[in-house]
Amino acid sequence: MVTVGKYDGKHPALTCATTAGKVLIHSPHTRGQRGGRVDTTKDQDINLLNINQQVSSVCAGSLNGKNDILAIGTQTNILAYDVNNNSDLFYKDCADGANCIVIGKLGTIIEPMVLIGGNCSLQGYNQDGNDIFWTVTGDNVCSLALVDFNAQGQNQLVVGSEDFDIRVFREDEIIAEMTETEAITSLCPMMDSRFGYALANGTVGVYDRSARYWRIKSKNQALTIHSFDIDSDGVAELITGWSNGKADYRLDGTQQLLCVSTEGEIKAYNPAPAEMRGNLMDANLTGCF
C-alpha cells in the first residue's frame, strides 16, 4: 500500500504501509519532526508512524484545499493524520473496517471527505471527523475511485466489490452497475468519464461510463493501476504494476510513433490525416535546404 502526499502543501512525500503496523513516510524536504505518533531523528528523511494494528489502506488528499492529510485505515478504525503538524485530525471506530480509502468531493456535498469502503458499507468523514455520508452496497468493498462519470462537473463514487460488480453512486443513489468476471481489486480515474480497473484474475481494462473501452488479461496479477500521460500527447495512459515485478503502460489502440530522447523523455506522435501528408512533406523538404 503506497500513496504520495504533499503534506506541507508543496513537496511530495512517499508514504508506505508496512506489515508490522507502521506507516513509513519518506519526506526529504522536511526533516527533524518529533513527538506525537512519529518516530524520527534529526538527520533522517524517513519517519515511522506507529499504528499498532494491521494497516488495510492508506490515502493522501486535501480536506482544506491547502495541504494534504494522511488517512490510514485498519479493520477497526480510521485515522486522519496531519503529517505537517504531527497531530491527529480525527480517530474513529469503523465497525465495518476500512478496506479502501479515497479523499475528495462527492456530488453536491460541499465539503471534501475521507470516503471509506468497508464490509458492505460506504462512509464519508469531513475534516472535523463528522460522519456526513453513509450508504450500503452489495458486498465487501475492494476498491474506490472518484470519477466525473456523467461528465457534468461533479464526482460520482465508483465502487468495486467482491461480488464482481462495479457500482456507480451519485451520493447514495446507484446510477450504473457493471458486472465483471472477478473481484475488482483496483480502480483509478483517467480522463473525462473514463476509469481504469483491475480484477483478481489478472484482467485490466478501461470503462468509458458504463461501456467497456478495452481490456486485456495476464497470467500475472495486477497489484496496482494508475493513470498518467506518460508520452505527453494530452491523453492519460493506464499504468499497471504486476506481481512479477514489471510495470507497463497501455495506449487506446491507435498506432503511434514513440521516441525516447537521450535525457529519458518519452514522446508519442499520432499519424497525420491523409490530407495533411503532402503539407508535412513540403515542410520537411523546406527545412533541409
List domains and CATH numbers for the chain: 1-93 (no CATH), 112-255 (2.130.10.10)
Q: Specify the DSSP element, H or E, that contains 19.
A: none
Could you give the CA distance from residue 197 to residue 188 in angstroms, rounded to a whole number? 7
pLDDT at residue number 281: 43
Strand partners, 258: 268
Q: Write down the residue that cell numbers 493506464 correspond to.
A: 238
Residue positions counted in the chain: 289
Q: Taking the mean position of all CA atoms in its chain, how far away is CA 187? A: 7
Which of helix, strand or coil describes residue 231? coil
211 CB-near residues (< 8 Å, 6+ apart) = none
pLDDT, block means (10 residues), the chain with 289 residues: 92 92 86 57 74 93 93 95 91 93 95 96 94 94 96 94 96 94 96 94 94 92 90 84 88 69 73 56 40
pLDDT at residue number 85: 87
On the CB side of 22, how many CA atoms lie within 13 Å of its CA? 13
Q: Specify the DSSP element, H or E, that contains 285.
A: helix 277-288
Closest CA to 224 of 207, 191, 249, 193: 249
47: left (phi over 0), alpha (psi -120 to 50) or beta: beta
Asked if residues 200 and 162 have their Cβ atoms less than 8 Å apart, the reply is: no
pLDDT at residue number 289: 37
Which of helix, strand or coil describes residue 210? coil
- In tens, the pLDDT along 150-163 reads 988 999 999 999 99
C-alpha cell at 87: 497531530
48 CB-near residues (< 8 Å, 6+ apart) = 22, 23, 24, 25, 38, 39, 40
Asked if residues 117 and 143 have their Cβ atoms less than 8 Å apart, the reply is: yes
Cβ neighbourhood burial of 144 (10 Å; 0-12, 13-18, 19+): buried
Could you give the CA distance from residue 84 to residue 68 in angstroms, rounded to a whole number? 9
Q: Dihedrals φ, ψ of 181, to 5°?
A: -105, -5
pTM for the structure as a whole: 0.83
pLDDT at residue number 284: 40
pLDDT at residue number 86: 87
Cβ neighbourhood burial of 160 (10 Å; 0-12, 13-18, 19+): buried
